[in-house]
Chain A
Amino acid sequence: MRWTYVLTRLLQIIPTLILAAVLVFTLVRLLPGDPASAILGDRATPEIVERTRRELGLDQPLPVQFARFVGRLLQGDFGISTSLKVPVLRLIAERLPVTLFLTLYAAVLGALLAVPLAVLAAVRRNTWVDAVIRAVFQVGLSLPVFYIALQLLTLLGARLGWFPIGGYGDTFAEHLYYLFLPALTLGFNLAAVLMRTLRASIIEVLTAEYVDFARAKGLRSRVIMTRHVLRNAMISTVTLLGLNIGALIGGAVITETVFAIPGVGRLMVDAIFGRDYPVIQGLTLMFAVIVSLVFLLTDLIHARLDPRAQHA
């Protein structure tokens, strides 16, 4: 793999971030209602609202506010949350690992569900096995995340008592245990998406000439499946998985609320309702970085699986 390729792709992230910063700065200010009145609620007198606006620097013209925001950003300062009154970076540092853990966990569970079932469905295509697997995932695609979450909680959490209802735990093992149901919720949805593509690609690859050739060579079907079919069928699936990480983080917002997980998804929702500009801005930039990096990683894996991609 060429390092210049990686470096170029890394540098390409910078304009994305600048654009994201400008966009989010303008967009949140287009929303009616400002942090001062959102924090103070209905009761505050106009004088108190005015004083708070001054303290938060919201009385300054927008270009001045933007210059201050960028100036601080360049020094690595994301500002202080207007509602929680703590530095945004600290909030992100506390919450981000939780969401990343959940997202990765969901991706792993999703892949663990999707790959074997896709293979099974493809190999047994148009039989009842295929039909059942596809039907289950079709349901998974059409049910809203919060509904699946609540059903899992009620059955496996409350009724059977196998899993805790909500929370995050303190140790790695506890995280795995506490986050199992939410990760399964998100993973199931993801698996439904992945399964369809993977099944289709496997079927396509299975009919390719090189597979016939491998079979003619007398290779065992397990070897054909892992070495030839899956490797080629995975290319599109990896891309899809990468594209879906963004969606996973989005899905985490709902999952984190239902399962009471203190991640960035919930932080973002609270920040938007509270018009907490510094938090919204900080989180958006962070999401932009993560999504860019995931796309980069996806491209790299893609390139690894299919060397032609590097030169494209």
Chain B
Amino acid sequence: MNRFTRLTLALGAALTLGSSLAVTRGGTMVYGRYADSLFLDPVLNDANLDIWILTNLYDTLLQPSPDGKSVKPGLASRYVVSPNGRAMTLTLRPGIKFANGSPITAQDVKWSLDRARNPNNGAWNGSLASITSITAQGNTVVLNLKSPDPTLPAALATFNAAIMPQKLFNAAPGKNDAEKAKAFAEKPIGSGPFVLSEWKRGSSMVLKRNPYYWQKGEDGKALPYLDAVRFEIIPDDNTRILKLQAGELQGAEFIPLSRVSELKANPKINMQLFPSTQVNFITMNNRPKLKNGSANPLSDVRVRQALNYATNKDALIQVVTYGTGKPMRSFMSSTTPLFTAQQGYPYDVNKARQLLQAAGFGNGFEVSCLATSGSANDLALLTALQQMWGQVGVRLKIEQVDAATKTARYRENDFQMRTAGWTNDINDPSQITSYFAIYENVESLHTGFKNAEVEKLFAQSQSETSRVKRAGQYRRIQDIYMKASPIVFLYETPYPVALAKNVRGFVQIPLGNNIFTATSLEK
């Protein structure tokens, strides 16, 4: 090889390397969703279908980190907590604007947070309950607190604390906040990376790039890289996959876990399993008597522990999640801040038999579980459990009902067992703990679980500013909960998203939010 050839080769290599480093700007990414959003108001929305999209339209003062463990600056470049923990001062970035070009002021922030923490507004105001008043001046906002609140940074990084334009919202037609929200949500203006440009309900939604977005990309110019994201609503799993394979989509969510390995083997597709906060479990009614007055064997902690021992999690992970899940080691997912892995209940049929014997159910008993009709996962799970529990004499009856019926029966405590899943909405363990373990909220997921020590520790943890001490409180809570086993601990599952090979920089964070901010379509 002479010097000239060598030089050309080196140059060529350098050029290829250089071009592979540069990010492509422009293009529209088409993304297949299984269902459409319902209502695009950050405060009054109802479901994950909204929540997971809202962050593209509205920005928050702080943002959840992509790994789900911490928060990072958003519209606010910094925040300082006062020494006594009773005030938080946030500094807004200079020159930030809404998607229509109007400036974001401290007054907009105050108004947005006041609206979000109003107890009459929506289901999420509790996360900002520690705030007593807000003062806005220049580019700083001060939140005055009842008591120190370690959850506040995470709360400010959550969808309901999104910053909205006060004047535009008030100019929307309608007599009250709810009516104005309906009108505003049809054509929302926020300060997220994208802005809604077209919405055909049940069919498609187009988000255009927000030209005033504050965050900069790798090339030093404003994000996002994409010109637009187009969501197409394709409820059928097979159709979503076919459309992706045909190149009509560049991304498809909720790929059935049964198809993951097949798509992983497809050279045209980049099959991703994003870590999630999703835990899958079975809630048990822990009360001595069921709604119909009959005695409930599940009120005995030994029986609940026995069922946990009789559950072969690894087998279930193979059968139901096709190997994509991992065993739950606490009631919270391993991606939740302050998660502590517990020893849990390794598969042990003998131990299960001993516990049942001790509880007076040596001959077993019959138990019924509510399942969502039409859910292949529920059916696979419960048929497998039927066999596993059958070995210790527990006869499992499967009751299939539709989701609304299931919720209704559950709310009335009219159930013995029920299949369930959970994902966090906030980057903090307090939300999941208050639902799973605090009776006052929703009777601990309607299990009826109540533990004085847990309640005390939780109350303390809500104003504990030392992260180390707080971690200790949560370690103890998780330990007590595991031992009391009000639920059958099953497995954590990821978010399966299939992408076209040329998609870069798309993330679904553990909270579920789809982040297209730094997504690009390479040529």
Contact = CB atoms under 8 A, between A and B. Distances in A.
Interface string A230-266: 0000000000000000000000000001111010001
B234 A262 contact: no
Contact of A167 (B47, B120, B232): B232
B246 A157 contact: yes
Contacts, number: 118
Interface stretch (A70-78, A158-166, A191-199, A210-218): A158-166
A95 interface: yes
Given A49-B411, A85-B38, A274-B404, A260 B201 contact: no
Interface in A27-61: 31-34, 37-46, 48-49, 51, 55
Interface residues of B, number: 43
Contacts of B295: none
Given A157-B246, A164-B248, A83 B442 contact: no
B350 to A, nearest CB: 35
A190 interface: no
B408 interface: yes
A206 B285 CA distance: 70
Contacts of B235: 257, 260, 266
Given A44-B123, A83-B46, A34 B408 contact: yes
Contacts of A259: 239
A88 to B, nearest CB: 12
Nearest to A37: B407
Interface in A126-175: 150, 153-154, 157-158, 161, 164-168
B202 A165 contact: no
Nearest to A83: B38
A144 B128 CA distance: 51
Given A258-B239, A267-B202, A161 B404 contact: no
B441 interface: yes
Contacts of B186: 86
Contacts of B401: 32
B409 interface: yes
A273 B238 contact: no
A37 B408 contact: yes
Nearest to A42: B407
A297 interface: no
A58 to B, nearest CB: 13
A296 interface: no
B428 to A, nearest CB: 15
Contacts of B233: 260, 262
Interface string B184-228: 011000000000000011110000000000000000000000000
A266 B35 CA distance: 11
A43 B236 contact: no
Nearest to A55: B178
A31 B405 contact: yes
A305 B211 CA distance: 64
Contacts of A38: 403-404, 407
Contacts of A95: 202
Given A38-B404, A158-B242, A43 B435 contact: yes
A243 to B, nearest CB: 28
A165 B248 contact: yes
Contacts of B242: 153-154, 157-158, 165
A109 to B, nearest CB: 21
Contact of B202 (A33, A41, A266): A266
A33 B404 contact: yes
Contacts of B79: none
A272 B233 CA distance: 18
B46 A39 contact: yes
Contact of A32 (B120, B408, B445): B408
A120 interface: no
A114 B57 CA distance: 51
A153 B408 contact: no
Contacts of A150: 238
A45 B39 contact: no
A84 interface: yes
A42 to B, nearest CB: 6
A38 B38 CA distance: 13
Nearest to A43: B435
B147 to A, nearest CB: 21
A95 B233 CA distance: 14
Contacts of B407: 33, 37-38, 41-42
A153 B239 contact: yes
Contacts of A39: 46-47
B404 A42 contact: no
A166 B234 contact: yes
Contacts of B38: 83-85
Contacts of B405: 31-33
Nearest to A90: B201
Contacts of A161: 246
A267 B233 CA distance: 12
A164 B411 CA distance: 44
A41 B46 contact: yes
Contacts of A55: 178
Question: Which residue of B182, B235, B239, B242 has the most chain A CB atoms within 10 A of its CB atom?
Answer: B239
B91 interface: no
B201 A94 contact: yes
Contact of A43 (B201, B239, B442): B442
B243 A273 contact: no
A273 B404 contact: yes
Nearest to A170: B200
Question: Which residue of A33, A83, A257, A274 has the most chain B CB atoms within 10 A of its CB atom?
Answer: A33
A104 interface: no
B296 interface: no
Question: Which residue of B178, B202, B203 has the most chain A CB atoms within 10 A of its CB atom?
Answer: B202
B341 interface: no
A123 interface: no
Contacts of B238: 150, 153, 258
Nearest to B48: A41
B246 A158 contact: yes
A42 B203 contact: no
Interface string B36-63: 0011000000110000000000000000
B200 A165 contact: no
17 contacts: A33-B402, A33-B404, A37-B411, A41-B46, A42-B407, A42-B442, A45-B441, A83-B39, A86-B201, A153-B239, A165-B242, A165-B246, A166-B243, A166-B248, A259-B239, A262-B203, A266-B202
Interface of A: 31-34, 37-46, 48-49, 51, 55, 83-86, 91, 94-95, 150, 153-154, 157-158, 161, 164-168, 257-260, 262, 266-267, 270, 273-275
Interface of B: 35, 38-39, 46-47, 120, 123, 178, 182, 185-186, 200-203, 232-236, 238-239, 242-243, 245-246, 248, 401-411, 420, 435, 441-442, 445
The 8 closest A-B pairs by CB, nearest first: A33-B404, A33-B408, A262-B203, A260-B234, A262-B202, A38-B404, A32-B405, A32-B408
